[in-house]
Amino acid sequence: MKLTLVQGDITEQRVDAIVNAANSSLLGGGGVDGAIHRKGGPEILEECRALRASRYGGGLPVGQAVSTTAGRLPARWVIHTVGPVYSRNEDRSHLLASCYRESLKVADALGAATIAFPAVSTGVYRWPMDDAARISVTTVLRSGSNLDEARFVLFDLAAYEVFDRVLREFG
């Protein structure tokens, strides 16, 4: 699997699946989540509501992933995953790694060849970018996934530069 980096907006990526940094309600939020629902249209939220009414009555647990349509977005699917809130007192790295592993599993099961990830948990959930980049990059590199491409989409140049440095170190 090829690992690539771009600076940009995840909603504009032409890949089979884009990953949403959702919250456990699956009913929308700010950041990446807000942008995906705004541009993807109401079909995505409808499927999220159906998931809440069936498999995920209590919400999607942290570290897990589930797919819906991508509505009007160029991608075919949105894979919603819930990142952990960063904590100084508790190591939640395994949960952040799980978001990437579980999203790749869902993508594989869908038959996706390409996937785009945002930097999960680095916004409202406050995970430091360099640590998040190290966890994300190493987890995807070691996943053993059969996809052709995993793309990290970094919203600003500072985040792109951090991921670029980490990818050179581990890739």
* Residues that bind ligand ADP in the complex, under the rule CB under 6 A: 9-11, 21, 30-33, 35, 83, 118-125, 153, 155, 159
Taking the mean position of all CA atoms in its chain, how far away is CA 107?
Answer: 11
Q: Which of 33, 91, 108, 156 is catalytic?
A: 33
What is the C-alpha to C-alpha distance for residues 154 and 151, in angstroms, rounded to an integer? 10
Backbone region of residue 110 per phi and psi (left: phi > 0; alpha: psi in -120 to 50; beta: other values)? alpha
CB of 85 to ligand ADP, least distance (A): 8
30 DSSP assignment: S
- Is 108 among the catalytic positions? no
Nearer to ligand ADP, 53 or 132 (CB): 132
Half-sphere exposure of 42 (CA within 13 A, CB side): 0
- Distances from the Cα of 101 to the Cα of 12, 40, 74, angstroms: 23, 24, 23
Nearer to ligand ADP, 11 or 103 (CB): 11
CB of 148 to ligand ADP, least distance (A): 21
Token pair for 130: 């360099």
CB of 25 to ligand ADP, least distance (A): 12
Nearer to ligand ADP, 53 or 70 (CB): 70
Residues 6+ away with beta carbon under 8 Å from 144: none
CB of 127 to ligand ADP, least distance (A): 7
Nearer to ligand ADP, 12 or 43 (CB): 12
Q: Write out the catalytic residue numbers.
A: 33
